[in-house]
Structure 1
């Protein structure tokens, strides 16, 4: 598979037309960055990010694992969650991942969802589906490391930033195209 600006644009548009969570994602991409930065959010706003990470698979993610992770996140002290999310904009990716993964229920992939919804212009979520597209296109040398480390995410993020620049698109647009390109065959 070869990635190009037209492929990214077409797939991102197909995402917008067909993915059932697109409207709520757009709303959260608009409101969560400011809410997280200002600390003006509730527990359910933070929980939404964890739910989104797993529920975007529309039932294809193992339900027991999804519930376990969502419940684990709910056990975090909300003051701690608030402090971590408020601090994200002042941290580099490595420090942000360290702080986020210290929370119960948050591994590197879920942490990257928090990064994406806290600063969509700077970060992009990682998962096997998105990574695999880049690997198959020759943009990432190694197959998806399950689970990815912070160093793995750094490589993925730099690749995505480079591609977003090359294709003159925003990171959320690139994410949406990668998600569509990585969809299972029907």
Structure 2
């Protein structure tokens, strides 16, 4: 598959029109970055990111694993959650963000990448099996999805996404939506 600007625009538009979670995702992308930066958020806002990461698969992700991750995240002390998110907000790079977030129970690199996207959607994108597969099919990544990816593997995927967003003159959220649709 060859990624082109028109393909990215078309797939991102289809995502907006057809994906059932799009309205709430767009709303959270408008509100969570400022909330996380200011510290003006509650536990449910942080839990929303975990829920979104797993529930966006619309049943394709095993329910028991999803519920386990959500439950384990609830066991984190909320001050530890706030400290991890604050450290991620203040981080200078992806590795530092991921390291801060993965200190939390139930947060691995893919889930941390979701937090990164909702902390700074202009600079970060969530990477999971589908996005990875679409990048690989487009020749942007050479290895199959490492389950889960390491921090350095996430950084590689992130750099590929940033490069593609620059090439296609779009934001990372638009690119993510296109890659998600292409992975379906």
TM range (shorter): over 0.9
Asked whether 1:178 is paired with 2:179, we answer yes
SS in 2 for 1:9: helix
Q: Following TM superposition, by how much is the alpha carbon of 1:143 offset from its aligned partner in structure 2, in angstroms?
A: 1.2
Instruction: Output one character per residue of 1:28-76: Cα deviation in whole Å (capped at 9) or x when no partner.
Output: 0000000001100000000000000000011110000000000000000
Q: Following TM superposition, by how much is the alpha carbon of 1:87 offset from its aligned partner in structure 2, in angstroms?
A: 2.5
Asked whether 1:7 is paired with 2:37, we answer no
Tell me if structure 2 keeps the 8 A contact 1:109–1:126.
yes
Separation in structure 2 between the aligned mates of residue 83 and residue 41 of structure 1, nearest angstrom: 12
Separation in structure 2 between the aligned mates of residue 142 and residue 61 of structure 1, nearest angstrom: 22
Aligned length: 183
Structure 1 length normalisation: TM-score?
0.97
Runs of 4+ aligned structure 1 residues displaced above 2 Å come to none
Match of 1:157 in 2: 158
Instruction: Output one character per residue of 1:109-141: Cα deviation in whole Å (capped at 9) or x when no partner.
Output: 000000000000000000010000110111111
Separation in structure 2 between the aligned mates of residue 80 and residue 37 of structure 1, nearest angstrom: 16
Provide structure 1 residue ranges, at least 5 long, that are not aligned to the other structure. Answer: none
Tell me if structure 1 keeps the 8 A contact 2:87–2:100.
no
Match of 1:135 in 2: 136
Tell me if structure 1 keeps the 8 A contact 2:122–2:172.
yes
Structure 2 length normalisation: TM-score?
0.98
Q: CA RMSD in A?
A: 0.6
Write out aligned runs for 1:72-87 (5 A). Answer: 72-87=72-87
Tell me if structure 2 keeps the 8 A contact 1:37–1:87.
no
